[in-house]
Amino acid sequence: MPATPKWVYSVRWKFLLFAIGSAAITAVLLYLGYALGNLILKTAFVSRPIASFVRFPVALVVNKVGSSPAAIAAGFVIYVVSFFLLSRGTMRRLESLERSIRSIGMGNFDQNTPNRAAKDEIGQLSNSVYRMSAQLSDDLSHILAGLQEIANGNLDRPIPAGERSGELAEVAFKINEMAERLHRTIQDERNAEKTKNDLITGVSHDLRTPLTSILGFLEVIHEDRYRDEVELRHYMTIVYEKSLTLKKLIDDLFEYTRVNNGIPLNTVQLDLIGFIRQLCEEFVPQLEAAGMTCRVEAELDALVIDADGDLLVRSFENFLSNAIRYGQDGRYIDISFNVSEGEAIVNIANYGEPIPERDLPFLFDRFYRVDRSRSKETGGTGLGLAIAKSIIEVHGGRISVQSSRDRTVFTTRLPLHS
The mean-pLDDT minimum among 19-28, 90-99, 244-253, 330-339 falls in 244-253
Residue 46 reports pLDDT greater than 50:
no
pLDDT per position as a tens digit, 283-319: 998 999 989 999 998 888 888 999 988 888 888 988 8
pLDDT per position as a tens digit, 370-401: 554 444 444 455 677 888 888 888 888 999 99
Residue 216 reports pLDDT greater than 60:
yes
Most trustworthy range by pLDDT among 103-107, 179-183, 261-265, 305-309 = 305-309
Residue 259 reports pLDDT greater than 90:
no
Q: What would the 3-class secondary structure string for the chain be?
A: CCCCCHHHHCHHHHHHHHHHHHHHHHHHHHHHHHHHHHHHHCCCCCCCHHHHHHHHHHHHHHHHHCHHHHHHHHHHHHHHHHHHHHCHHHHHHHHHHHHHHHHHHCCCCCCCCCCCCCCCHHHHHHHHHHHHHHHHHHHHHHHHHHHHHHHCCCCCCCCCCCCCCCHHHHHHHHHHHHHHHHHHHHHHHHHHHHHHHHHHHHHHHHHHHHHHHHHHHHHHHHCCCCCCHHHHHHHHHHHHHHHHHHHHHHHHHHHHHHHHCCCCCCCEEEEHHHHHHHHHHHCHHHHHHHCCEEEEECCCCCCEEEECHHHHHHHHHHHHHHHHHHCHHHCEEEEEEEEECCEEEEEEEECCCCCCHHHHHHCCCCCCCCCHHHHHHCCCCCCHHHHHHHHHHHCCCEEEEEECCCCEEEEEEEEECC
Residue 142 reports pLDDT greater than 90:
no
- The pLDDT score that the predictor gives to residue 47 is 45
- The pLDDT score that the predictor gives to residue 132 is 78
Beta bridge partners of 408: 350, 403
Backbone angles phi, psi at 224, to 5 degrees: 55, 45
For CATH 3.30.565.10, the residue range(s) in the chain are 267-418
Q: What is the mean pLDDT of residues 112-140?
A: 72
Residue 48 reports pLDDT greater than 60:
no
Beta bridge partners of 340: 343
Say which amino acid occupies 320. L
Q: Which CATH architecture has domain 267-418?
A: 2-Layer Sandwich (3.30)
| Distance (Å, whole) CA 8 – CA 120 | 9
Backbone angles phi, psi at 54, to 5 degrees: -75, -40
pLDDT averaged over every residue in the chain? 78
For CATH 1.10.287.130, the residue range(s) in the chain are 160-261
Decide yes or no: CATH 1.10.287.130 for domain 160-261: yes
pLDDT per position as a tens digit, 348-367: 999 988 888 888 887 877 66
Q: What is the mean pLDDT of residues 325-337?
A: 89
Residue 45 reports pLDDT greater than 60:
no
- Residue (of 246, 337, 322) closest to 290 by Cα position: 322
Indicate the pairing of strand 408-415 with strand 398-403.
antiparallel
- Residue (of 89, 96, 91) closest to 111 by Cα position: 96
